[in-house]
Amino acid sequence: MLIWRVLGGPTAWVPYLLFLVFGSQPLWNTAMNAQFGGLLLGAVGIVVYLIYRQRLVAAGAVAVLLLLKPHIFAPVVFGTWSRRTVRLIVAFVVVALLLLLASVVAQPAWPQGWLAEVRGNRLALASQSTSVWTVASWLPGGPVWALVIIALLTAAAVDLARRQPLSAVEAVAILACLTLVIVPYSGSHDQMLLVPAWAVVLRRSLANGHRATLASLPLIVLVLPWALYAIRDISGGHELPSALMPLIAALMLVLTLYRAVR
């Protein structure tokens, strides 16, 4: 709701957006597996709304919540840095260091345990992630294709930022898509972070009267993720087919923003 408000979306389309979010497979998976996706999406919404209201110190403090899943906090931090919001970065760093200090005092050995988990079990689970590395593993050449896709999407994002000033939501949407494409350890529940991208596509499509995109969004946001999740059994019960969704979201978002530039 906060993301939609920052985008200036029409109130009449709120039920449509809520339908896309609450009917989504990532939300269901987040709830069923007690994951952080919904909480992180809420934090992103609060942060971009506070940026919109120019309450940058508060936005930086709230952004610390994204450290609950360290590999996705970067979108807000770097997205806001591109807007030269130094006060936000300072607030984020100060609050993060205070929490780090408190956590070490409470449990001095946790950093070693965390590093051991990352280098061990988490590294092994990366082969079952929903990132571009999984998609590339299906193709001849493997990791080479992952690097090519990442390079192309990154170049497109940089070019978009060069062509026009991106809003906080648009910057976060692009970087969230790129993060979920690149990070080698993720699940479909992390794809709650694609909601800013879907919201931007919806808002731009409404503004420009792109009826075909509006009609296709339920198929892409709702039907396709459920279908990919349903066929996971062919990949040994893992969510590997869901790795296509961050790529699809990134492509739709980039094309939508390029169309807006033109």
Q: What is the pLDDT of residue 69?
A: 75
Mean pLDDT on 158-184: 84
Q: What is the pLDDT of residue 104?
A: 94
Q: What is the pLDDT of residue 218?
A: 92
Residue 79 near residue 6, CB atoms below 8 Å: no
Instruction: Give the pTM.
Output: 0.86
pLDDT at 235 over 80: no
Residue 128 near residue 239, CB atoms below 8 Å: yes
Q: What is the pLDDT of residue 20?
A: 92
* 48: its two tokens: 């971009």
Q: What is the pLDDT of residue 49?
A: 92
| Residue 219: band (very low, low, confident or very high) from pLDDT cuts 50, 70, 90 | very high
Number of domains composing the chain = 1
Q: What is the pLDDT of residue 72?
A: 55
- Higher confidence at residue 195 or residue 160? 195
Residue with tokens 């029409």: 10
Q: Taking all residues of the chain, what is their mean pLDDT, rounded to a whole number? A: 84
Residue 27 belongs to domain spanning? 2-261
Give residue-wise pLDDT tens across range 79-114.
555 555 778 888 888 999 999 999 999 999 998 888
- Higher confidence at residue 202 or residue 175? 202
Q: How far apart are the first and last CA of the chain?
A: 28
Distance between CA atoms of 214 and 138, rounded to whole angstroms?
A: 31
pLDDT at 227 over 70: yes
Closest alpha carbon to 230 in 19, 6, 29, 10? 29
pLDDT at 70 over 80: no
Mean pLDDT on 65-92: 68
* 232: its two tokens: 């996971």
Mean pLDDT on 56-67: 88
Quickly count: other Cβ atoms within 10 Å of residue 23's Cβ.
Answer: 15
pLDDT at 201 over 60: yes
pLDDT at 149 over 90: no
Distance between CA atoms of 232 and 239, rounded to whole angstroms?
A: 5
